[in-house]
Amino acid sequence: MAKNIYKVIFLIIVIALLSMSLSMSMSMNAFSMTATKEYTGSFIVTIYDQYIQVVSPSSTSAGVSASTPALAENAALSISVIADNKTLSKLLAKIETEDKKTIAYLNVPAQSAKKTDLKIANKNTKIIFTPLAPAFQEVKLIFGSIPYEIPARNTNTKSNSEPK
């Protein structure tokens, strides 16, 4: 009788642990899928196997446009960068200024996303996102830009198999 009670308790614990694990997995997938909806005021850097896509905020701070003259040139800004890793390997990246001053390092597991908050000196500070592993070219993060990709996809080029 006592052995049956221990078996039931063991099964309850196993089921509880599995349900917690499943709910954590689902919440991380939900974050990854809705990152573009929840954090529209952030840089969203999506890393794929062959290219990187960047969606930039239209303003340099909440409710203040990059072209607003009222924002002082030397005012410090708080921004965030969301790195969404769509590859099958862990991403290590560095965020730095144009003068190579490191602001933050990121460690993003495969198939997940990570948000990092940054403080920059002013709205004219140029920010660079550099994937270290897997190695890829650096990406300049530009405020108010339309979504762009590195390397840019060119749909107008002809393939080598087409006659000239």
Residues 11, 53, single domain; the answer is no
Q: Are residues 107 and 91 in the same domain?
A: yes
Are 57 and 116 found together in one domain?
A: yes
> Same structural domain for residues 108 and 138?
yes
Asked if residue 5 and residue 86 are part of one domain, the reply reads: no
Is 56 in contact with 142 (CB distance < 8 Å)? yes
Q: How do beta strands 43-47 and 52-55 pair?
A: antiparallel
Strands 43-47 and 77-85: parallel
The reported pLDDT for the residue numbered 75 is 66
Whose structure tokens read 């954590």? 24
Within this chain, do residues 49 and 31 fall inside the same structural domain, yes or no?
Answer: no
Beta-carbon count within 10 A of 106 CB: 20
Does a structural domain hold residue 122?
Answer: yes
Q: What is the pLDDT along the chain (164 residues), one digit of tens a residue?
A: 667 887 778 778 878 777 766 555 544 444 444 444 334 468 999 999 999 999 988 755 444 444 444 445 556 788 899 999 999 999 999 999 888 899 999 999 999 999 999 888 777 788 999 999 888 899 999 888 788 898 876 655 444 444 44
Residues 83 and 134 in one domain: yes
Residues of the domain holding 3: 1-38
pTM of this prediction? 0.62
Total of domains in the chain:
2
82 in the same domain as 116: yes
> Which pLDDT belongs to residue 73?
53
